[in-house]
Amino acid sequence: MARTNAKEPLVEAARELFSLKGYAGTSVDEIAESIGIKGPTIYKYFKNKEELLKAVIDCAEDEYIKGMEATGNLPEYIHTGEDLKGYALKSLHFTLNNETAKKMRRLMTIEQFRNEALAQQTTRHQLTYLRDLYASIFRKMMERKEMIQGDADIIALQFISPITIMIQLMEREPTKKEEAFQTIDKHIDVFIEHYLI
C-alpha cells in the first residue's frame, strides 16, 4: 500500500516538470531531485519514464472526469437552456482553474507534435471527449423534444468549438480572459436561442 502512496509525489513532480520543460526536456533525475530522492529510486515504482508519463496522464484523466462531473446519467439532468449553460460554465470554470488541468493543457500543447500518447490525449480533451459528452446531452434533449432535431455530433461540435478556441486564447493571452468569457457567454446564449425549443 505504501508503494501507491509513494507514487503520488512522483506523479505530481513529473506533471509539474513536464508542463514546464516538456516530456523530452525533463530527466528522471530532475523529477527525483525535485522531491528529494535519487533518480534510481523512481525505478522502484515505475519501469521507465514512459510508464511515469502514463501515470501522469491516467491520474489527470481521473481528476478531469470527476471535475467535469460527467457521469453516464448527466443527460438526464439537462432539460433547459439554463441547465445547459449552467453545466457548460461550471465545466469551463473547472477546466480553467484546476491546477492539474492547466498543467496538462500546457504539457499537451508542448508535446502533442512529439509524443503520440500526448497527441491522442490532446485530441481526446479538445475534441472527442467533449463532442461525445455534449452529443449525448443533445440526443437526450432531442428525444424529449427540448431541442430541434439534427445531427447531435455536428451540433455538439458547433457548441464546443468556439469554447475550446476561447480557452486556448485565454491560455496564450491571459489579458484577454474577460473578453473571452464574454464571448463564451454570448456564444452559449446564441446557441440556446437557435437550438433549444
What is the chain's pLDDT, residue by residue, as a tens digit (197 residues)?
A: 344 577 999 999 999 999 999 998 999 999 999 999 988 889 999 999 999 999 999 998 888 888 877 666 788 899 999 999 999 999 999 999 999 999 999 999 889 999 898 899 899 888 999 999 999 999 999 999 999 999 999 999 999 999 999 999 999 999 999 999 999 999 999 999 999 99
CB 6 within 8 A of CB 45: yes
Which amino acid would we find at residue 18?
F
pTM of the model: 0.84
φ, ψ (nearest 5 deg) of residue 147: -145, 150
Q: HSE-up of 81 (CA within 13 Å, CB side)?
A: 15
Please state, in angstroms and as integers, the Cα–Cα distance from residue 79 to each residue in 11, 88, 146, following that order: 39, 13, 7
Which amino acid would we find at residue 183?
T
Report the distance separating Cα 4 and Cα 19, nearest Å. 23
Report the distance separating Cα 46 and Cα 17, nearest Å. 17
pLDDT of residue 72: 63
Q: Where does residue 121 fall: left (phi above 0), alpha (psi -120 to 50 degrees), or beta otherwise?
A: alpha
Which domains are present in the chain?
Answer: 1-59 (1.10.10.60), 69-197 (1.10.357)
pLDDT of residue 67: 81
As given in the structure block, the three cell numbers for residue 45 are 515504482
β partners of residue 147: 196
Report the distance separating Cα 144 and Cα 142, nearest Å. 5
Report the distance separating Cα 138 and Cα 136, nearest Å. 5
pLDDT of residue 71: 60
With the C-alpha atoms ordered 136, 63, 185, 71, is the resulting torsion angle positive or negative? positive
pLDDT of residue 70: 62
